[in-house]
Amino acid sequence: MGRTSPMVTFFFVLLVATAVLGDDPYRFLTWNITYGDIWPMGVKQQGILINGQFPGPQIEAVTNDNVIINVFNSLPEPFLISWNGIQQRRNSWQDGVYGTNCPIPPGRNFTYVMQFKDQIGSFFYFPSLAFHKAAGGFGGIRVLSRPLIPVPFPPPAGDFTLLVGDWYKANHSTLKYVLDSGRDLASPDGVLINGRGSDGNTFTVDQGRTYRFRICNVGLATSLNIRIQGHTMKLVEVEGSHTLQNIYSSLDVHLAQCYSVLITADQPALDYYIVVSTRFTSTVLTTTATLHYSNSAGRPVGAPPGGPTIQIDWSLNQARSIRWNLTASGPRPNPQGSYHYGLVNTTRTIRLANSAPVINGKQRYAVNSVSFIPADTPLKVADFYKIPGVFSLGSIPDNPTFGGGYLQTSVMAANFRDYVEIVFENYENTMQSWHIDGYSFWIVGLDGGQWSAASRKNYNLRDAVARCTVQVYPKSWSAIYMPLDNVGMWNIRSEHWARQYLGQQFYLRVYSPANSWRDENPIPRNAFLCGRASGRRTRPL
């Protein structure tokens, strides 16, 4: 073999340079966060608006886009936004949760610099501090496939987002006050679709054409069921995974989950009810929107169709029917199934049990008996500057203890490149929903009763769906496989927002001893510094 020609070397260098600098497109957004009056349930409330909008503007992006959002906090209090399902590869600095970022002070702005690396699909953003999420400040995120990457269904005639969620008439400060005083919240007052109550939304379709509906549960407390009078839904995508295209007449959407379905306007030219109702609640809250055929002869006929209410097995069976399409492409041209997640041996098992302890006379929520409390400095920032005494690794056990609850700034240590099995064990009689920042994981099993090593025999190691939020049914367990390929400080949390607020969350510190910028970005130059990091410098320009 002769020496590599200079020309080949030149092209190689060019290729590497391009890969490093990245010629992926940039999208610049400027957001102004304000309080403003909203009337979602007919009563005036103080909402959190983004550029005057409730819900906030939708983020439209393509795989690998750089999304730069300059957020001006015009609220009289600290504020942060987090991006549910956006993986922030090597970059938990942009995650926008209490443990990774100093809050944006009132009257100041912070520019999130994100890349939607190797992602497609439907996600949402939300305000992560205090109980702000109860006031709005959320919006949809859609990440489209790059041109030339095959999408396993024809381009739809339209692409609608439905942010569905339960809602309280009380404002976020009142709700926070109730929780701070050690009481639990009452049931929500209603259900909203895109920030509006019954009859508040109309989605116009042309007869004979097929539309994509992206449905995310942005609510605080309840699982929801969605259905469309006279129509079926073909499931095509779940939080960035293309699924087997099963047909459903109604779909359960648990807290913080997102689904894409295709709906064909194949019925007589009328209007039809879109119905969203609460699941597993003693009082069923329902709201409707309208599917309007552009040539419609009139209002919907009959009553809005009913749906499942307390049936758990129905929901469990539906969850198990949601599978990965192994031959479809995801964000890359190769098929999703070319990553054989089930053939890799896991290196660690973490079992997490939720509980509802009373601590110091106050209602709290816990994971493995630990109820998370914030420290005076974001954990990621303390870690970066090696500030001692903010948190300690191993402050939450790997297994349930079944002991009494205690307060702790809980951080679990984990090694970069480990391949973990996590089992969420729910010994309570309520529905749980768990989210992990920075990752997508395979849901290998869900079942009733108590998990044991023997439960592994029934895992789906072939075509389980990869997503970022998993539900756990009452007195049941859900198991996931997750490759720890993203260094950072990552929030693992209940998506039941009162539980999250009262401590049912912790941080997973995925650590690489290489301490290299190849594995993790350094602190952003524009990061705010607070707590015990106040007065430090980020890095030179």
Ligand X SMILES: *[C@@H]1O[C@H](CO)[C@@H](O)[C@H](O)[C@H]1NC(C)=O
Residues that bind ligand X (CB under 6 A): 32, 34, 46, 70, 72, 74, 109-111, 152, 171, 173-174, 244-245, 325, 327-328, 343, 345, 526
Angstrom distance (rounded) from CA 483 to CA 7: 39
Instruction: Using the minimum distance from each CB to ligand X, give the nearer residue, 172 or 214.
Output: 172
Instruction: Using the minimum distance from each CB to ligand X, give the nearer residue, 111 or 415.
Output: 111
Instruction: Using the minimum distance from each CB to ligand X, give the nearer residue, 70 or 309.
Output: 70
User: Any bridge partners for residue 412, and if so which?
Assistant: 508
Q: What is the DSSP letter of 531?
A: G
- Minimum CB separation of residue 173 from ligand X in Å reads 5
Angstrom distance (rounded) from CA 91 to CA 537: 19
Distance of CA 113 to the CA centre of its chain: 19
- Minimum CB separation of residue 537 from ligand X in Å reads 14
Answer yes or no: are the C-beta atoms of 75 and 106 closer than 8 Å.
yes
Instruction: Using the minimum distance from each CB to ligand X, give the nearer residue, 131 or 434.
Output: 131
- Minimum CB separation of residue 34 from ligand X in Å reads 5
For 40-177, list the strands marked E by DSSP. Answer: 45-50, 59-62, 66-73, 81-84, 109-115, 121-127, 139-144, 159-167
- Minimum CB separation of residue 327 from ligand X in Å reads 4
Instruction: Using the minimum distance from each CB to ligand X, give the nearer residue, 236 or 275.
Output: 236
Q: CA–CA distance from 207 to each of 159, 260, 268, 289, 393 (Å)?
A: 15, 20, 8, 18, 58
Instruction: Using the minimum distance from each CB to ligand X, give the nearer residue, 71 or 370.
Output: 71
Instruction: Using the minimum distance from each CB to ligand X, give the nearer residue, 38 or 163.
Output: 38
- Minimum CB separation of residue 74 from ligand X in Å reads 4
- Minimum CB separation of residue 405 from ligand X in Å reads 30
Residues 6+ apart with CB under 8 A from 514: none
Angstrom distance (rounded) from CA 49 to CA 31: 10
- Minimum CB separation of residue 482 from ligand X in Å reads 17
- Minimum CB separation of residue 111 from ligand X in Å reads 3
Task: Record the tokens describing residue 101, joined without a space.
Answer: 């970022």
- Minimum CB separation of residue 437 from ligand X in Å reads 21
Nearest to 56 by CA among 123, 124, 120, 128: 124
* Burial call 387-401: b when 16+ CB within 10 Å, e when fewer: beebbeeebbbbebe
Instruction: Using the minimum distance from each CB to ligand X, give the nearer residue, 33 or 446.
Output: 33
Task: Record the tokens describing residue 409, joined without a space.
Answer: 């700034």
Angstrom distance (rounded) from CA 356 to CA 500: 11
Q: Which region, left, alpha or beta, applies to residue 181 given φ > 0 means left and ψ of -120 to 50 means alpha? A: alpha
Instruction: Using the minimum distance from each CB to ligand X, give the nearer residue, 111 or 521.
Output: 111
Nearest to 248 by CA among 315, 191, 156, 153: 315
Q: What are phi and psi of 2, to 5 degrees?
A: -80, 180
Q: Which region, left, alpha or beta, applies to residue 100 given φ > 0 means left and ψ of -120 to 50 means alpha? A: alpha
- Minimum CB separation of residue 171 from ligand X in Å reads 4
Instruction: Using the minimum distance from each CB to ligand X, give the nearer residue, 110 or 497.
Output: 110
